[in-house]
Amino acid sequence: MLPPGERIVTARTPDTVAAQLEQLILDGVFRPGQLLPSERRLCDRLDVSRSSLREGLRILRSKGIIETRQGRGSVVAQLVPPRDDNPLMHLFRDHPRTLYDLLEVRALLEGESARLAASRGTPTDRVLITRRYDEMADYVAKAGADSIDVERLARLDHAFHLAICQASHNPVLVHTLQSLTDLLLSSVFASVKHLYHRPRSREMLNRQHARLHRAVIEGKPELARRVALEHLSSIGESLREIDAEDRRLERSAMRLEEWE
């Protein structure tokens, strides 16, 4: 019996081809700028068909490891593809205030996304949005107030908002909002978790989600936008409150340390 979720799969030929060539490049056998052997030669050498070899090369090409020109051959790329560590991460480290700037931008985008979803959303979109909403509402209703799995709730919450955004039918909007959300979660997930822990905040979120869901489903663009804006701005306020409390705790902890 195989472990659930994990699936043993025989390594595909193109993947092993790519891995072997990558290793050769790492080992310095093929150096940057150097011309690789021709495809036919590589087939012989690695003992695979040309189709599989070509798919393997395709993998390396889309990683930016080699560059290919017809009639010429494939060369090992000179530059390592640029890394994308997000410059905003640094901002968060040094300036907590950035969190509220982030919420400001997210509010703008969430608002527009809700507005577009209400005006452009297809029946299919509405079914999906409602499904996400029900999953979230059901979980909140069924789980006792104490036994709530905050991580799971956060995922359901996120899925709901994502469904709305996708109904806007603007991939750029989806992507931009997604990356801001990732940024938010990766930097201050701990704070966001507190939102779900406090009964008062949780009830507020529930009410707002219900209103947002209704506005979108009933096709009321301006209302949807306004509700989304309020939603985000009250999240901001709650985070401010939590922040203020944390500070108080921190101060008292510091005072405690001084005496120990």
**102 touches, from DNA, a second copy, none (C-beta below 5 to 8 Å by class):** a second copy
30 backbone dihedrals φ, ψ, rounded to 5°: -110, 120
Angle between the N-to-C axes of helices 39-46 and 13-26, in degrees from 0 to 180, rounded to the nearest 10: 100
In the complex, minimum distance from the CB of residue 175 to a second copy, in angstroms, rounded to a whole number? 5
Size of the site for DNA (CB under 7 A): 26
First vs last C-alpha separation in the chain = 57
Q: Based on the shown chain and the rule CB under 7 A, indicate whether residue 38 belongs to the binding site for DNA.
A: yes
Query: Would you count residue 170 as binding a second copy (CB under 8 A)?
Result: yes
State in angstroms the smallest separation of the CB of 255 from DNA: 21
Site string for DNA, 168-187 (x = CB under 7 A): --------------------
Q: Does 98 bind a second copy (CB under 8 A)?
A: yes
Q: Which is nearer to DNA, 53 or 205 (CB)?
A: 53
* 226 in contact with a second copy (CB under 8 A): no
Evaluate whether 199 touches 81 at the Cβ level (below 8 Å).
no
Matching residue, tokens 């043993």: 8
102 binds a second copy (CB under 8 A): yes
Q: If you search the block for the tokens 């490891």, which residue do you land on?
A: 65
Expressed in percent and rounded to 5, the helix, strand and coil fractions of the chain are 70, 5, 25
Neighbours of 140 (CB within 10 A): 19
What is residue 5's three-state secondary structure? coil
Which positions lie near a second copy, rule CB under 8 A? 9, 14, 26, 28, 51, 54-55, 58-59, 62-63, 69, 80-81, 83-88, 91-92, 95, 98, 101-102, 104-105, 108-109, 112, 169-176, 178-180, 182
